[in-house]
């Protein structure tokens, strides 16, 4: 699907100007079409690309989600960006990277369009109950067992009002929800600034309170798939490690470190 909008084209110069933190240090690659910005970023990282290097593309032909799923990334409709990070922090903090990226993206979207942006554990952003953004973090561990690099991939539906049938009921975009067409270069720069701040402070877990505040499963009955097991329960909240705390019907508590979770009512609706 090719949805060419009147969006300001992506430009390394514009992103650099919008990245007030200087996180990228001008190492910004803008592609027209690519398979996946995460794949390009991983290849560059393996060749030694520096901390803060950014890869963006106008479209992705094989945009990736988790577990081999696709992230639909048509031309001129979204911000598809991947950031290489070479963290100095201990590998124990690596599982917090995705939640830090989610808060960075949610705050940036909200700042530019003025609409409340929720986080759905683990890696999605929602506006008015529809997914507008997904995040995919891929990490490489070196022979000493520490984190060599991580690639943080963020895909945001920016200017887009049409979706293929399989996404129509679950996905949306900033434009569809707010009527605003925002500049992806500025959005990218805003995200980079926050990402630098939250990653620098990951050991103090500065992003967690904001992640908790925005998390939309909390306080609801949910179903979750974790480690191949399907569970149902009440989402109590998010702990210090960005894990989801679940209360099961027998009264016991479960800590979910990774997986997939959905509100029960959304699940039932999808099953109908």
- What residues make contact with ligand BT5 under the rule CB under 6 A? 36-38, 60, 63-67, 69-73, 80-82, 123-124, 131, 134-136, 153-155, 157, 167, 171
Q: How far is the CB of 88 from ligand BT5 (least distance, A)?
A: 24
**By Cβ distance, which residue is nearest to ligand BT5?**
134
Q: What is the DSSP string of 158-200?
A: -S-----HHHHTTB--HHHHHS----HHHHHHHHHHHHHHHHH
- Shortest distance, position 152 Cβ to ligand BT5, whole Å: 9
Whose Cβ is closer to ligand BT5: residue 138's or residue 148's?
Answer: 138
Find the shortest distance in angstroms from Cβ 78 to ligand BT5: 7
Nearer to ligand BT5, 125 or 147 (CB): 125
* Cβ 5 to ligand BT5 shortest distance, Å: 14
Report in angstroms how near the CB of residue 270 gets to ligand BT5 at its nearest: 10
Burial of 129 (0-12, 13-18, 19+ CB in 10 A): middle
Would you say 31 or 206 has its CB closer to ligand BT5? 31
Closer Cβ to ligand BT5, 64 or 207, answer by number = 64
Q: Tell me whether residue 66 or residue 75 sits nearer to ligand BT5 (CB atom).
A: 66
Of 96 and 132, CB closest to ligand BT5: 132
For 217, the token pair is: 């499963």
User: 99: closest CA among 244, 227, 236?
Assistant: 244
Cα–Cα distances in angstroms (integers) from residue 10 to residues 55, 60, 70, 80, 204, in the given order:
11, 14, 22, 10, 34
Pairing of β 28-34 and β 54-60: parallel
State the nearest-atom distance from the C-beta of 231 to ligand BT5, in Å. Answer: 18
Residue 245, classed as helix, strand or coil, is strand
- Rg of the chain over CA atoms, in angstroms? 18
d(CA 119, CA 217): 9
């Amino acid at each position: 699907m090719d949805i060419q909008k009147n969006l300001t084209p992506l430009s390394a110069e514009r992103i650099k100007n919008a990245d007030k933190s200087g996180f990228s240090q001008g190492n910004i690659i803008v592609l027209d079409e690519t398979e996946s910005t995460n794949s390009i970023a991983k290849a560059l990282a393996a060749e030694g690309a520096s901390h803060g290097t950014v890869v963006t593309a106008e479209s992705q032909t094989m945009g990736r989600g988790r577990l081999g799923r696709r992230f639909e990334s048509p031309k001129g409709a979204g911000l598809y960006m991947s950031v290489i990070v070479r963290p100095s922090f201990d590998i124990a903090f690596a599982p917090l990277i995705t939640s830090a990226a989610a808060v960075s993206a949610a705050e940036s979207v909200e700042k530019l369009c003025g609409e409340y942006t929720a986080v759905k554990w683990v890696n999605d952003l929602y506006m008015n109950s529809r997914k507008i953004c997904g995040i995919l973090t891929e990490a490489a561990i070196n022979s000493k067992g520490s984190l060599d690099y991580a690639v943080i991939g963020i895909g945001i539906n920016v200017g887009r009002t049409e979706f293929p049938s399989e996404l129509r009921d679950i996905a949306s975009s900033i434009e569809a929800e707010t009527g605003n067409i925002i500049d992806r270069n500025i959005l990218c720069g805003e995200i980079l600034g926050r990402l630098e701040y939250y990653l620098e402070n990951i050991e103090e877990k500065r992003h967690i309170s904001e992640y908790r505040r925005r998390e939309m499963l909390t306080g609801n009955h949910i179903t979750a798939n974790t480690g191949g097991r399907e569970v149902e329960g009440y989402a109590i909240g998010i702990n210090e490690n960005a894990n989801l705390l679940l209360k099961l019907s027998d009264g016991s508590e479960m800590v979910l470190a990774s997986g997939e979770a959905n509100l029960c009512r959304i699940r039932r609706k999808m099953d109908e």
